[in-house]
Chain A
Amino acid sequence: MSEQSAAERDLAELIVSSLNLESVRPEDIDPQAELFGGELGLDSIDALELALAVSRRYGVQLRSDTPDNRQIFSSLGTLSTYIEQQRRSECVL
């Protein structure tokens, strides 16, 4: 498993806490592994719960009209990258 970046670790903690994943430790979520439908057993409604938690924590909206949701939600790494990009672009604006 590849090393988590600081942002990924932060997001992993949000995933575990917002979805109450009692048997999963944040540091064990592989940034490159499939996040939903994979070993964690998370599904689309968990994705929605996470999206709501991400919006509260980072102020980043994951929206249905974003064309590449499938890619964004595919792993801890891709989701974290998207959130960081959005946060940076908001800072610039």
Chain B
Amino acid sequence: MSNTWQGRREGGGYIALWLIRGIGLRMGRPLARALLYPITLYFFLRRGPERRASQAYLRRLWGRPARQREVLQHIYVFASSILDRAFLLHRGERGYHFEVEGLDLLEQTLAQGRGVLLYGAHLGSFEALRTLAARHPDLQLRVVMDRTQTPAMNALLEELDPQLAKNVIDVGADRYTVALAVSEAVQEGAIVALLADRARHHETTRSVPFLGDPAPFPVSPWRLAAAVRAPVLLCFAIERGNRNYLLRFESFAERIELPRTRGDATLDSVLMAYAARLEALLREYPYHWFNFYDFWKPHVQATGDLGLAAAEPTGERGHLA
């Protein structure tokens, strides 16, 4: 499973994160920024699978082989986003410029009182969303994430901002609890944010066209949206320059409805719309795709604990957790 994102160890991450914390936060951001170059080079040289995944992705995007310089740039943008995550959490948005687009859309949707599902992707720095929540304490933001996936990163981020853990709905909890927690948060009028582009091992996916080839996307975010009957907005935060971010909210669906009989076709059309939006954004911001693994590899659903593959030959159902 070494080519799936869950199979990748966080290795090297510890070192990079330690450097970012130890040097970045103590000695200042300019020095930490300078260190991003050797860190980038280290990842480029030592992490073959990530380097190849970047090359393959850029090739799909541009229809030509990627140059080394471009792959380095891709890794650099990712490293830079990690550094900023640490700074933003530790020091807030002081010194950063955030241009926010579509905030009125978010506010209007929240005013309906039905809660909001805010779906992003591993595209840019979704965490930048938290700075907005810090600026608007009246906004209730809950983030659905799997804390077991990147323990080093999470340990660091939570150390920097102890409040963080409280607002997380942990996918590592039992599966009933996660779905119920999302439903309760939405009923309370909260914003529930999650990244809808990666499937966990046991999750059901459906493949839809993405940058020219079918790619497996998880179906559970959309089944969840249908179950809780809340509007879905998309959210992306993209670093446009040094300490300069664009945070954008976009409407996606007033409500997701999945009729039982034509559910699969409806799911496919929803996934296609989501994938098409990601694709358009990547054409605009090619280096902000932070899925450094073979995203197009057909998803093999692990049967292990749930045995769902045998029970569901059509594969239409998914697991949130």
* A interface residues with partner B (beta carbon < 8 Å): 20, 22, 36-49, 51-52, 62-64, 69-70, 72-73
Contacts and interface: CB of A to CB of B under 8 A. Distances in A.
Contacts of A48: 176, 179-180, 182-183, 224, 227-228
Task: List the 3 shortest-distance A-B pairs measured between CB atoms, nearest first.
Answer: A44-B175, A64-B181, A41-B311
Q: Is the interface of B mostly helix, strand, loop or mixed?
A: helix
B112 to A, nearest CB: 19
Most chain-A CB neighbours within 10 Å: which of B175, B220, B320? B175
Contacts of A72: 176
Contacts, number: 79
Contacts of A70: 174, 176
Nearest to B174: A70
Q: Is the interface of A mostly helix, strand, loop or mixed?
A: loop
B206 to A, nearest CB: 15
Contact of A62 (B180, B260, B317): B180
B28 interface: no
Interface residues of B, number: 28
Contacts of B307: 37-38
6 contacts: A44-B320, A48-B176, A48-B182, A63-B180, A69-B180, A70-B174
Contacts of B178: 44, 64
Contacts of A20: 260
B227 A41 contact: no
Nearest to B313: A41
B220 A39 contact: no
A36 B306 CA distance: 8
A38 B174 contact: no
Given A37-B308, A38-B311, A69-B174, A43 B317 contact: yes
Contacts of A69: 174, 176-177, 180
B318 interface: yes
A73 B306 CA distance: 14
A37 B320 contact: no
A43 B183 contact: no
A41 B177 CA distance: 18
A41 B176 contact: no
B177 A64 contact: yes
B101 interface: no
B184 A63 contact: yes
A45 B308 contact: no
B224 A43 contact: no
B319 interface: yes
Given A41-B317, A48-B182, 6 more contacts: A36-B175, A38-B311, A40-B311, A43-B318, A44-B179, A69-B176
A49 B174 contact: no
A83 to B, nearest CB: 14
Contact of B179 (A22, A38, A45): A45
B180 A43 contact: no
A45 B176 contact: no
A64 B308 contact: no
A52 B183 contact: yes
Contacts of B254: none
A11 B228 CA distance: 21
A3 to B, nearest CB: 24
A36 to B, nearest CB: 8
A45 B180 contact: no
A69 to B, nearest CB: 4
B311 A39 contact: yes
